Structure 1
Amino acid sequence: MPRTVWLLVGARAINRLGAFSLPFLTVLISTEFGASATTAGVLSAAFGLATIPSRLAGGRLAVRLGRRRTMVLGLTGCALAQLGIAAAGSLAAVALFAVLLGLAFELYEPPSQGMIADAVGPADRVRAYGLLNTALAIGGTGAGLIAAGLGRWDLRWLFVVDALTCLVCALVLQLVLPADHLRPKAPTTGPAGAGGQGGAASPWRDRALCAMFGAGTIFALVTMQIMIALPLSLDRRGLEPADAGLLFTTSAVTVVAAQPALRLRRLAELPDSAALALGYVLMAAGLAGYAVAHTLPAFTAATVLWSLGDVLLLGRALSVVAELAPPGATDRYLAAYGISWGIATVLAPVTSTQALEHAGVAVLWAATAGLCLALAAAQLLVVDTLIGRTRRSRAPGTDRSPEATGQVSRT
């Protein structure tokens, strides 16, 4: 991997090491300010909503300000907002800084993902994004241990330490990444998707991207539901809810250990849609395991299964989106695709808790597994077709002009 990739991976690991405060935001709101669970949930949802324009702004700012400046701006903004939460003396102040945190939270992602896409060739993008996923997993494992220690002392210190890691990450990127060289503005006309509709300035007019976005939103919803519903499911099965931390650590270790498998010839040469479908099937198998599990070893085995699917999905999906983007539009395509996580952050607390309340553990996870199987089928039958059309429309020698397609008006 090029030096730029390793620098971004290392910086992301540092940042992720401190990203343990957000799960405790609702706890802080409830314990420090006596707010109800409903109020705490609404404020957390407000944070999730704010991440959607943040992701889109990250793609635009990467083009206008430069990638390094955008990443440093986002990390610095996160640090200031988290320090504001730590020092807040009222619920209104916490709400304000939570929204500001959401607005800065996703600025980092589009430029960093776009920089990786440009630093390596198409054949190496899956492995490069896999390394980024590995950094998140390693940092997440350490973050849980730090949170366990600081959280017993004072919840506000979680936000202080998280802010410090953001500032350290921003400083590292400012010092080691090459200076920004602004690229020419992407054209606003010309082919940009299946059927040649739209231009680089309008990723949403690319049918293949919209299909990937739809699948990505459901995948993100499944992932967020795991984060939220797994502790509650353990409790309902008579196990210790805190053991969810062990399961999340198991997932992180699996993601790290499975990275070399991405270099296996048979796996690396799988067509994109086949690899994505396989990932969804593995996730379905793991989540179906949750539906019938009643012991911690059974939950652990199921966690390993869906985590193997996660390894196949994250890097491959980002690689496909980066390939779909026309020249100069990589950041905006990745930004558009990435808002799926903001939508999932808002919806998952509602869908997971309501399903548990009205249907129970088995139905929740069986339905989620079925959703993953539906994603596998859709990937092979629908999404793959749209991706193929886009690739053919941009193949060298393909003329998409009105004259070539007979779409010229005659007088």
Structure 2
Amino acid sequence: MSTRPGETEKRRARQLPRLYWVLWAGTLVNRAGTMVQPFFAFYLTGDRGLPIAEAGLILTAFGLGSVLSPLPAGWLADRAGRRVTLTAATLASGAAMVALSRSTSPLALSASMCGLGLTLDAWRPASTALVADLVAPPLRPRAYGLLFWASNLGFTGGVLVGGSLVQDHFATAMWIDAATSAAFGLLVWFALPGSEPALPEPTSQVTEKRGGFRDVLTDQVMARFTLVTFGYCLVYLQSLTTLPLTMRHAGLPPAAFSYAMAVNSAMIVLFQPWLSAWLDQWDRSRTAAAGIALTGIGFGATGLATSTAAFALTVALWTIGEILVSAVGSAIALDLAPTHLRGHYSGLYGLAWSLATLLAPLLGTRLLSVGGDVLWSACAATALVAAVGQFLLRPAVSARSS
């Protein structure tokens, strides 16, 4: 029986390496400790007794830090190494969380929040690049998909525990968060060898080991892919801002939003590992385009929903899209990157998410104030344009992946 080209390579790559599972376990532990981030607004207005407007300004400091974080973190991942960057970022994040727990004045709270925004996800470019270092290209969608699954599994558990803990013991929850961040970094530090492993670089990507963000920003394929990702993120992040507002305007209680979002968590936990086992066989760009399109259809249908069940159905639609995009998005970004700039490319990919996190609430609420039909139609249109853009990138992405 004949073997198709690349079949043997895929079979060899089928087994994820031990060091990948160390990163997977660390991600799970770190995200399980994420008990306080969803409750920052409650902490500032409750425990610290700040007015809503002042709390909003402090939360903006957090958003500013998160926007400034990805590019330097990506640069550091390439210059200092994945091991140093990941450990330093998680230890710094833990220190910032402790500082926040001890801050009382608005100025100190703002500084701590900005520091936390800078460090909380600064480990991601190093982590994303490390997966590309450890895992052969055919298996990367599976690897990134399982990492996304671990992140969501840990986050869901952390929020469930944190929801009860923060009512009376917010400082304790902050210390737990800090401890799990530090544990993640130390786990990676002691598990990874001093000389970090890397797969052989494709012949097509062998260049002088120099370059920086100018090379990344002038890469037209990566620039367009980042723009596509930004469009997708603007739509997807409406799930955290305008979706609950829309459900409230429909006359539904806050619990209805929890039920609808439980569909999201349950589908990711149940289906992500199963789908991840197959995604390495599918074309990356087509998978991403399909996922973005499904996201647009799901959010577009939100404008038609009036009951909890109907909203839950729209959540199910865009969750399928989220699962597909989460598995192949990082894989595409790292397929485009030469080995010595993987951290830089991962940082630019992360910047699309950070900018969208900052702008999605602003743009979404403005459109919602005009009308729900305007918002959700705009979401559908934005996602479908992004899906077409991703599909048109397919030839260039495939050429760079070979």
Q: How does 1:289-300 map to 2 (within 5 A)?
A: 289-300=301-312
Equivalent positions of 1:35-50 (< 5 A) are 35-50=50-65
Match 1:216 to one of 229, 238, 242:
229
1:369 to 380, 392, 398: 380
Q: Which whole-Å deviations, capped at 9, do the CAs of 1:193-212 have from their partners, x for residues lacking one?
A: 9xxxx956521110011011
- Secondary structure, aligned partner of 2:251: coil
Q: Distance in 1 between matches of 2:141 and 2:84?
A: 26
2:359 to 347, 353, 370: 347
How far off its partner does 1:192 sit? 10
**Residue deviations 1:2-52 (CA, integer Å, cap 9, x gap):** 111111111111111122322222222223444333332232222122123
Q: Does 1:256 align with 2:269?
A: yes
After superposition, give the CA deviation of every residue in 1:233-275 in whole Å (9 maximum; x if it has no partner): 22111112243333333212212222212434xx544322211
Residues 291 and 320 of structure 2 are in contact (CA less than 8 Å); yes or no, is this contact kept in structure 1?
A: yes
Unaligned runs of 5+ in 1: 396-411
Q: Relative to 1, partners in 2 of residues 1:247 and 1:151: Cα closer, same or farther, differing over 3 Å? A: farther
Q: 240, 246, 254: which is aligned to 2:253?
A: 240
Q: TM-score, normalised by structure 1?
A: 0.85
Q: Is the 8 A contact 1:137 1:253 kept in 2?
A: no
Which of 327, 333, 337 is the equivalent residue of 2:349?
A: 337
Deviations along 1:282-320, one digit per CA (max 9) or x if unpaired, are 112221232211221222222111111111111211111
2:112 to 84, 97, 107: 97
Superposed CA offset, 1:135-159 (max 9, x none): 0111121022112211222434332
SS at match of 1:107: coil
- Which of 160, 163, 166 aligns to 1:145? It is 160
Residue 164 in 1 paired to residue 164 in 2? no
What is the deviation of 1:386?
A: 4.3
Alpha-carbon separation, structure 2, partners of 1:236 and 1:131: 36
* Paired position in structure 1 for 2:3: none
Matched, 1:27 2:42: yes
Aligned residues of 1:225 and 1:352 also touching (Cα < 8 A): yes
The alpha-carbon deviation at position 226 of structure 1 amounts to 1.0
Q: Does 2:86 align with 1:71?
A: yes
- The CA distance in 2 between the partners of 1:32 and 1:148, in whole Å, is 15
Q: 2:71 aligns with which of 51, 56, 60?
A: 56
Identity rate, percent: 28
Q: Is the 8 A contact 2:69 2:119 kept in 1?
A: yes
Deviation at 1:390, TM superposition (A): 4.8
Per the alignment, do residues 278 and 96 of structure 1 end up closer, same or farther by CA in structure 2, a change over 3 Å counting? same
- Return closer, same or farther for 1:351/1:199 CA change in 2, 3 Å cut-off: same
1:119 pairs with one of 134, 140, 147: 134
Secondary structure of the corresponding residue to residue 329 of structure 1: helix
Matched to 2:265, the amino acid is A
CA distance, structure 2, for counterparts of residue 280 and residue 130 of structure 1: 16
Aligned to 2:218: 205
Number of residue equivalences: 379
Q: Aligned-pair distance for 1:179?
A: 2.4
**Contact 2:298 2:317 (8 Å CA) reproduced:** yes
Distance in 1, Cα, partners of 2:194 & 2:400: 33
Mapped partners of 2:23, 2:176: distance in 1: 21
Tell me how far apart the structure 2 counterparts of residues 79 and 25 of structure 1 sit (CA, whole Å).
16
**What secondary structure sits across from 1:270 in the alignment?**
coil
Given that residues 28 and 153 in structure 2 are in contact (C-alpha distance below 8 angstroms), is that contact kept between their aligned partners in structure 1? yes
State how far apart, in whole Å, the 1-side matches of 2:184 and 2:266 are: 23
**Structure 1 residue identity aligned to 2:219:** D
Task: From the superposition, tell whether residues 172 and 353 of structure 1 become closer, same or farther in structure 2 (CA, over 3 Å).
Answer: same
Q: CA RMSD in A?
A: 2.5
Q: What code does the residue aligned with 1:384 have?
A: R
- 1:280-295 aligned within 5 A: 280-295=292-307
Moved more, 7-16 or 223-232: 223-232
Q: Report the CA distance shift for 1:177/1:298 in structure 2 as closer, same or farther (over 3 A).
A: same
State whether residues 242 and 364 of structure 2, in contact with CA within 8 Å, keep that contact through their aligned partners in structure 1: yes
What is the TM-score of this pair, normalised by structure 2? 0.87
Q: Aligned match of 1:313 in 325, 328, 332?
A: 325
Q: CA deviation at 1:181?
A: 4.4
For 1:125 and 1:75, the matched residues in 2 are separated by 24
**What is the SS of the residue equivalent to 2:173?**
helix
1: distance between equivalents of 2:212 and 2:47?
Answer: 47
Residue 331 (structure 1) shift: 1.3
Asked if the contact 2:143–2:276 (Cα under 8 Å) also holds between the matched residues in 1, the reply is no
- Which residue is 1:398 aligned to? none
SS in 1 for 2:69: helix
The CA deviation at 1:389 is 6.2
Following the alignment from structure 1 to structure 2, what is the Cα–Cα distance between the partners of residues 43 and 386? 42
Residue 393 (structure 2) pairs with residue 378 (structure 1): no
Stretches of structure 2 lacking an aligned partner (at least 5 in a row): 1-15
